[in-house]
């Protein structure tokens, strides 16, 4: 019988197998951990790159926005309320006034030019001013009557501009500027639209390349001031307004019915504002003629500001709260309806069943008027 004995190599075999398994396990763990770390580092790098890109975008975006200023031409007969509108535009950092065109209306053409130049100078703007029409569209000289005083600015000896009108005619400037900036220019008409009507006659296709037209005109859905049915700007040159309305371009218009206490100034408020000096005093004194007129005519020391309110409609976000699309018909007959603008509302069921192909006369029917005086006051006081 043979003696049984233990195999001395068995423990070493077992130990070798155990070590091999352990080594494999460690290698797998290391490989898995390394890949996890690599993935984490890649994800972190990608996140950091996205953060940098976002920061770069945020830092660049405001610069791009400030470079995209709204390009406007202001057409005016420069009475005190026109001057208030010029101040609002001149103080707006997001607006580029390409030029101001003037016509006879509140005052003579020469006075309108001087008033515009002086107002821009007071407001810190060097925008060029161009002289335009000194008669109505049909060539008539209409009698000038200004409720703002003989100089249109309160007769307070305010007007001493250091600049002169730019060379060239207002109509040519309008057309040349639109051609150089097609579909980019907004025209804000504060007075009779004689210059615009003449420009439509000269080059209607170019005038259709205006981005947007704004007009302070008509009574809206209220009463007139030139006559019971006509607003002054239209009444001064209804034939021009007829050309403007029938040109087929969309127009956003603000009428006299938007004038209420929120966008008017009492005589006492203007007196206090005048004490502040500078642009505030210039503005307040320019309205003194209207305060005196209303005191005598209506027994109330108050001044409304239709042109300044229209400029707020055009430039201040959220100031216009509602509009009504209309078809407009301008009355030019030699009778008591001269200057009246008949407004047919889109979608309204008139008894005659009358309808029109186009309703592109957009009448402002609601504004945030309660914000007007506070915002305008802060503009006046800006250095």
Q: How far is it, in rounded angstroms, from Cα 278 to Cα 282?
A: 6
Which tens digit of pLDDT belongs to each residue from 236-273?
999 999 999 999 999 999 999 999 999 999 999 999 99
Q: Ramachandran region of residue 278, left (φ > 0), alpha (ψ -120 to 50) or beta? A: left
Q: How far is it, in rounded angstroms, from Cα 216 to Cα 255?
A: 6
Going from the C-alpha of 280 to that of each of 56, 133, 159, 248, 277, the distances in angstroms are 41, 30, 15, 40, 6
| 30 has a pLDDT exceeding 50 | no
Going from the C-alpha of 232 to that of each of 141, 219, 221, 222, 223, the distances in angstroms are 15, 9, 15, 13, 11
Q: Residue 383 — very low, low, confident or very high, per pLDDT cuts 50/70/90?
A: low
User: What global pTM score does this model have?
Assistant: 0.82
Residue located via tokens 């309806």: 337
Q: In 143-212, which residue ranges form alpha helices assigned H by DSSP?
A: 170-180, 194-202, 204-207
pLDDT averaged over the chain? Answer: 88
| 8 has a pLDDT exceeding 60 | no
What is the arithmetic mean of pLDDT over 147-163?
96
Q: How far is it, in rounded angstroms, from Cα 109 to Cα 131?
A: 7
Backbone angles phi, psi at 98, to 5 degrees: -70, -30
Q: What angle do CA 210, 86, 170 make, to 5 degrees?
A: 50
53: exposed, middle or buried (Cβ count in 10 Å: 0-12, 13-18, 19+): exposed
């Amino acid at each position: 019988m043979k003696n049984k004995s233990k195999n001395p190599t068995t423990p070493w075999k077992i130990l070798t197998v155990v070590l091999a398994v352990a080594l494999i396990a460690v290698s797998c763990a290391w490989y898995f951990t390394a890949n996890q770390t690599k993935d984490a580092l890649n994800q972190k790098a990608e996140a950091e790159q996205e953060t940098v890109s976002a920061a770069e975008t945020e830092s660049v975006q405001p610069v791009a926005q400030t470079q995209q200023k709204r390009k406007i031409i202001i057409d005016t007969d420069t009475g005190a309320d026109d001057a208030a509108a010029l101040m609002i535009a001149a103080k707006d950092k997001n607006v580029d006034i390409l030029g101001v065109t003037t016509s006879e209306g509140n005052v003579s053409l020469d006075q309108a030019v001087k008033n515009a130049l002086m107002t821009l100078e007071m407001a810190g703007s060097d925008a060029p001013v161009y002289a335009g029409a000194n008669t109505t569209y049909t060539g008539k000289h209409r009698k000038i009557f200004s409720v703002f005083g003989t100089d249109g600015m309160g007769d307070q000896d305010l007007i001493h501009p250091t600049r002169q009108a730019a060379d060239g005619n207002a109509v040519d400037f309008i057309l040349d500027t639109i051609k150089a900036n097609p579909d980019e220019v907004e025209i804000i008409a504060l007075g009779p639209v004689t210059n615009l009507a003449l420009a439509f006659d000269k080059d209607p296709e170019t005038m259709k390349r205006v981005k947007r037209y704004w007009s302070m005109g008509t009574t809206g859905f209220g009463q007139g001031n030139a006559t019971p049915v006509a607003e002054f700007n239209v009444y001064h040159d209804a034939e021009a307004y007829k050309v403007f309305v029938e040109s087929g371009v969309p127009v956003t218009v603000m009428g006299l019915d938007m004038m209420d206490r929120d966008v008017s100034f009492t005589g006492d408020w203007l007196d206090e504002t005048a004490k502040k000096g500078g642009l505030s005093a210039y503005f307040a004194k320019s309205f003194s003629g209207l305060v005196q007129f209303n005191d005598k005519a209506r027994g109330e020391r108050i001044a409304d500001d239709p042109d300044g309110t229209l400029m707020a409609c055009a430039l201040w976000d959220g100031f216009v709260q509602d509009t009504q699309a209309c078809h407009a018909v301008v009355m030019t007959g030699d009778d008591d309806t001269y200057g009246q603008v008949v407004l047919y509302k889109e979608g309204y069921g008139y008894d005659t069943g009358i309808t029109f192909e186009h309703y592109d006369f957009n009448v402002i029917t609601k504004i945030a008027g309660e914000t007007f005086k506070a915002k305008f006051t802060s503009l006046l006081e800006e250095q």
